[in-house]
Amino acid sequence: MRLKDEKKVWYIMPVLALLDLHNPAKVLSRLTRPIITPSEHYERHGYVNYVVFPTGTAIFDDQLYIYYGAADDKIAVASLNLNDLLTELKQNPHEDDSK
């Protein structure tokens, strides 16, 4: 999760990382931008404004579905193409692994 302070409003936005299968403490790559941002009205207004947080995932065919909470009082789902996501992750190696 990444916290962002804009005009004294805190945003919580999840980012995605690829971990080593045998050593999950080792980060192989990480996206440079959040996978979900509070952009819709229902994500920006609720019990806690400007909050989105993933709660679960599912893969169907080549789509990754991310179920997430929005504004602390709603549930939503977003989907990403899994192949595109893995390609983008491979293009963003973690700083410690790019040396």
Q: Which of 12-16, 36-40, 83-87 has the lowest mean pLDDT?
A: 12-16
The amino acid present at 53, given as its one-letter code, is F
What percentage of residues in the chain have a pLDDT greater than 90?
A: 59
Q: Would you place residue 50 in the very low, low, confident or very high pLDDT band (cuts 50, 70, 90)?
A: confident
Residue 15: the pLDDT is 85
Residue 99: the pLDDT is 46
Closest listed residue to residue 12, CA positions, set 56, 70, 78: 70
Check pLDDT > 70 for residue 1.
no
Rounded alpha-carbon distances, angstroms, from residue 52 to 28, 39, 43, 79, 93:
25, 10, 7, 14, 25
For residue 2, what is the enclosing H or E element? strand 2-6
Residue 12: the pLDDT is 67
pTM tops 0.95: no
